[in-house]
Chains A and B, each alone.
Chain A
Amino acid sequence: MKQILVIAEIFAGQIRPITWELAAAARKIKNSPPLKQLPPAIHIIVPADNPTTLSEKIAKQTGIDVIGLQIPELKTYTSEIYIYCLEQLTKKMNPSHILIAHTSQGQDFAPGLALGLDAASIPGVNGIRSDENGLIYSRPAFNNTRNMIVRPTSNRPVVLTLMPGIFKQDGRKGGKPGQVDIRKISFAPAACGKERIQHRRTMRKVCENQALKEAKVIVAAGRGIKGKEDLKAVFNFAQYFPAAAIGASRPLVDMNWIGYQQQIGMTGATVAPKLYIACGISGSSQHLAGMKDAEFVVAINKNPEAPIFRHSDICITADVLEFIQAFLEASG
């Protein structure tokens, strides 16, 4: 029987919540019209040096059978250990689909695993549906202005990395827990024999910015702000709102115009203010990941086609500096 395999995301000994989204997507694939006739089995794989507790927790929460992949050498994640051990385990399992989180960890090992299994590889999946030939997948492309639709060539397994926040966990409560099966695979590649990637430490550059998390209003600046001096206009705009904080897209932080503490998105802060005003931000999936739960979103962008407008309540097509000035004048 074909198998849908989910690789649980474990970070610092904890289950990352995206694991529940992967499980939901696995169910969606299993129950999709092209597979319904001959539904594959689902297994969740939990790689850890000591996977028993984590595996039981996941089996209980999802009701899906779990394979605890015990890797004695695995103290902290490295792509090398993951790719080798997961390949050893999964190549014997006849997988049709392998589901991995589209996170810093998933993106790091999924392509290597896909090649090892001679599989197709579709990264950043944000939609799964079917046409007359089977399942098809959508993923962002062209700076998030388009979705690209692809399918694996026939008879190949496919490795999918799934965008966080898309496949909502299916609120399963109670029910029969899945079975847990522990399998041990040691890291012992024939080619090199020992580890070539050594994990030294995990550190945190800066801690979460509480002010940003708690702000009622966030005025966020993006690359549509052309010079560091022009940020002043955004600061003036923000002062107009009570309890407003300044946010920024990543490029401004990368250019050292503003501190990392202000960065919003996948690799920055996740915020949910009452009002989010995006000033010259294009709306990349990585930025949206940090602000999609805002209550009300206003976007100012000079390009009417900017992706941010698809994710805004109010769209203002304008030069951001000119608009800010007009707003400050209009409000007296």
Chain B
Amino acid sequence: MSLGTFKGGAHPYEGKVLSENCAIEELRFDGEYIFPLSQHIGAPAKACVQVGDTVLAGQVIAEAGGFISANVLSSVSGTVKAIEPRMQVSGFPVMSVVVESDGRFETVEGYGQKRDIDALSKDEIRDIVKAAGIVGIGGAGFPTAVKLMPKNDDAIDYFIANGSECEPYLTSDYRLMLEEGERIVGGVKICLGLFPNAKGIIAIEDNKPEAIKHMQELVKSEPRISVMQLKTKYPEGGERQLINAVTGRYINSSMLPADAGCIVHNVATLLAIYDAVAESKPLIEKTITVTGDAVATPKNVRVRLGSSYKKILDACGGLKTEANKFICGGPMMGQALYELDCPVTKPSSALCAFAHDEVAENPTTPCIRCGRCVAACPEHLVPPMLVKAANADDMEGFEKIGGMECMECGTCSYVCPARRPLTQTFKQARKKVAALRKIKAAEEKQRKEHEEAAKKEAEKKAEEMKKNETGKEVPSWR
């Protein structure tokens, strides 16, 4: 069987052995749970509870603040202790609802009630997903309900379940496929109900043969769903690369997957969809991997959203050696942590603790133009050229050679023998370009308004002149 893949990429040390055989363990904690109002892409949610209110697990505590936004739900029962900025993994404080758990984990009414999926209309399904506060898990946190609403449901011909888990060290998706495979398939089936012409494909990297076998077994009697093996390579699970590997199609930065007839969801997100739709369980808990060579007992754990990473790490036996780097997420795209006392949010997928900080230990040297980054960039970019443009502050040039196509995947920085901080440079440059674009758009708008005003003025003048000429009041519209 030929393996689906894309051009470029790299093979970082996988590190999955640390935790791949650890069954998912449930962890619950006492004390504070923190729910930032912005844990997704789009507008922040608006808090709809007050300090002192008692809340239940599964209760909406902040409502979506726009179309591209998501509800935030309490994952525990207890009292709202504060609504104030709290430190996040990003290193910045974000306005959050803080709930002091009462330790009883009481849920809202109807939580866990089974629903008859077939009886639900498409709109009902989308509304449930929306209300459940589900956002893309393991990715950037794009609101899932929005992703399930393409312009034309019939134009979707591929529904891809992303089980590639190409980030090194991460094993939570793998464990979910092994332990919760039925529900993931259930999630795929629910989504296929929305897209009548879509083929369901569960895409898994070939370094997870057990998961492939298990999922194949589960979809045996599903005519619309199949399992596809992908070559193990980073970033196979990147949305654009995954679509390419599965369908041969290409999407660029200005396209949505739906523009190429595809919808992609992570397997963990599909599980959340199934739980919400079929079992009335909104997104209040998630499975993350706690791993790295400094962790005493690496584990896959199911935790309530809002739990502190510090408590989670303690529950995994703490550290066995001094850790020099903590990462929320995987080593390729994760966020390094200033401090551990930050809450688990919807998109988080892992906590890694490493004894060595490879970045600090590998000082940068001059670029030798070896071309490794060019060969590895999954977006077919030429990093040294982009760096040149970015360093010269030539944002136009940066855009012209494809800078905005960069998806900040880190592959170029990973392969660089000179350890150039390429990805970092591109992140900054892309921010700058985005800001410039905004300014430009605003200016453009202003200019248009100006022009419009001028035009009106001119028209008025012309009218007046006409009036003077004819001496009569004959408005032109008569």
Q: Do A and B come from one complex?
A: no
Q: Which residues of B contact A (CB under 8 A)?
A: none
